[in-house]
Amino acid sequence: SDYSLLILPGDGIGPEVMAEVRKVIGWFQTNRGMRFDVSEDLVGGAAYDKHGKPLADETMAKAQQVDAVLLGAVGGPKYDNLDFSLKPERGLLRLRKEMDLYANLRPAQCFDALADFSSLKRNIVAGLDILIVRELTSGVYFGEPRGIHDDNNNPENEGGRVGINTQRYTSGEIRRVARAAFELAKKRGNKVCSMEKANVMESGILWREEVQWVHDNEFPDVELSHMYADNGAMQLVRNPRQFDVIVTDNLFGDILSDAAAMLTGSLGMLPSASLGAPMDNGRPKALYEPVHGSAPDIAGQGKANPIACILSFAMALRYSFNEGQAADDLEKAVEKVLADGVRTADLMGPEGGTPVSTSEMGDKITEALSRA
Ligand code: NAI
Ligand code: MG
């Protein structure tokens, strides 16, 4: 069958790392007979240069129709002084908002060859493979009321102001992200740990009840546990391999996923995905992107590590195209290349060595696919 894919390389190193994903796509087309219907368009500063805004309406419409969008990165010094509404980041935010991507997936995977890059000891992280599912469209970052107000008639309050945010979740918002987490767990280790603070927060009590409800009614065969998010932070650092899928709200997920990222090392290695509601063909709306930005400091020099973007494509294979075997093979090819000692500059340890270029890393990965 045909898989439709919209590629948005963006700015800075975005086009450089995306060129390597193109090689990988070509490899799967030639060697596995997969048929990708690939289109390419502009986002971020590149779109601003051509259209005067960071995402053209036609590009937005296209993104709504394809099985998956793969984005490189946006932004750069050239655009830093633009009006807020024209900034490159707004292109990305528009995609996330209009596609209603409520489940943000951040894997933390530690390849053995890079275990010494972790902030933790090798024996705690080697072989780590967990997935944090963060609710992305609701919670305290969006809840009303919010604002900074005068609090002048309160003589006890030095400074006389109050800042307010509201943590607010509906049962529907919790159920849909819980469903996403259980579905993902079925394609992995079949285990979900839900994190909240039901001991001190009403929204936490609701979160726990609704996740349990989805489990009992729809996914009784997936193992479910609940954990307070503060304990979860401790457990992530103490023994992260106890987890498979972690599902949590927007705020806790923001913090826990950044902490988990450092279990695995370089920014150049970290993929992500954001999923929305299923479309008519049953596939979820989906945006895949590396966690890193446009890296203007190394752009145009062939130094960027393409692995984060390549692993983002592996996630697309697994979660949008249902090609789990191909995703495994691609991840194994990356692992092999790293085990062979092939390194881009960002992965050079203190022992030094000669780094490969962006393009050489892409070539090595497709070669490793062929050797498998
Ligand atoms: P950044 O992620 O672009 O770079 C941080 C550091 O990591 C830099 O030293 C960079 O050279 C290095 N780095 C990042 N990705 C790398 C890779 N694949 N290979 C090797 N080294 C890599 O973050 P920074 O510097 O804060 O932001 C630069 C621009 O990117 C800004 O305009 C920012 O707004 C934008 N940005 C865009 C994001 C996105 O498109 N999702 C996310 C984060 C930042
Ligand atoms: Mg963050």
Whole-angstrom CA distances from 56 to 42, 43, 86, 348 are 8, 8, 11, 39
Q: Which residues are annotated as a binding site for NAD(+)?
A: 76-89, 293-305
CB of 311 sitting under 6 A from ligand 1: no
My answer on whether 318 and 241 are in the same domain is no
- Picking from 258, 275, 267, the residue whose alpha carbon sits closest to that of residue 306 is 267
CB of 76 sitting under 6 A from ligand 1: yes
User: What is the rounded distance in angstroms from the CA atom of residue 87 to the CA atom of residue 135?
Assistant: 25
Q: Which residues are annotated as a binding site for substrate?
A: 96, 106, 134, 230
What tens digit of pLDDT does each residue of 28-77 get?
999 999 999 999 999 999 999 999 999 999 999 999 999 999 999 999 99
What tens digit of pLDDT does each residue of 92-122 get?
999 998 999 999 999 999 988 888 888 888 8
Asked whether residue 328 is assigned to any structural domain, the reply reads: yes
Question: Domain containing 277 — which CATH number?
Answer: 3.40.718.10
**Ligand 2 centroid from CA 254, angstroms:** 5
Alpha carbon nearest to ligand 1 atom 10, residue: 295
191-196 and 147-150 strand pairing: unpaired
Question: Which residues have C-beta within 8 Å of that of residue 307, sequence separation ≥ 6?
Answer: 268, 269, 334, 344, 361, 365
pLDDT on residue 1? 60
**Ligand 1 centroid from CA 213, angstroms:** 40
My answer on whether 222 and 310 are in the same domain is no
- Average confidence (pLDDT) over 161-175: 97
User: What is the rounded distance in angstroms from the CA atom of residue 321 to the CA atom of residue 2?
Assistant: 9
Instruction: Read off the pTM.
Output: 0.92
Q: Percent of the chain, pLDDT > 90?
A: 87
What tens digit of pLDDT does each residue of 316-372 get?
999 999 999 999 999 999 999 999 999 999 998 777 789 999 999 999 999 999 998
My answer on whether 276 and 334 are in the same domain is yes
Alpha carbon nearest to ligand 1 atom 27, residue: 293
The CA-based dihedral angle spanning residues 356, 357, 361, 363, taken in that order and rounded to the nearest 10 degrees: -110
- Average confidence (pLDDT) over 284-302: 97
Whether residue 265 is predicted with pLDDT greater than 80 in this model: the reply is no
What is the span of the domain harbouring residue 38? 1-112+263-372
Alpha carbon nearest to ligand 1 atom 44, residue: 293
My answer on whether 31 and 6 are in the same domain is yes
**Ligand 1 centroid from CA 371, angstroms:** 32
Instruction: Map residue 332 onto helix, strand or coil.
Output: helix
Asked whether residue 128 is assigned to any structural domain, the reply reads: no
Atom of ligand 1 nearest to the CA of 345: 20
Asked whether residue 207 is assigned to any structural domain, the reply reads: yes
What tens digit of pLDDT does each residue of 236-247 get?
999 999 999 999
Question: Domain containing 165 — which CATH number?
Answer: 3.40.50
* Final residue of a structural domain among 252, 285, 309: 252
Beta-strand runs (E) in the chain: 2-10, 35-40, 68-73, 103-109, 129-135, 147-150, 161-164, 191-196, 223-228, 245-248, 271-278, 284-290
Substitution site in 292, 313, 347 for ligand 1 pocket (most atoms within 8 Å of beta carbon)? 292
Instruction: Map residue 360 onto helix, strand or coil.
Output: helix
pLDDT on residue 24? 98
Asked whether residue 228 is assigned to any structural domain, the reply reads: yes
Active centre residues (catalytic): 141, 197, 230, 254, 258
The secondary structure of 127-139, three-state, reads CCEEEEEEECCCC
CB of 295 sitting under 6 A from ligand 1: yes
Q: How many domains does the chain have?
A: 2
What tens digit of pLDDT does each residue of 218-235 get?
999 999 999 999 999 999
Q: Which residues are annotated as a binding site for Mg(2+)?
A: 230, 254, 258
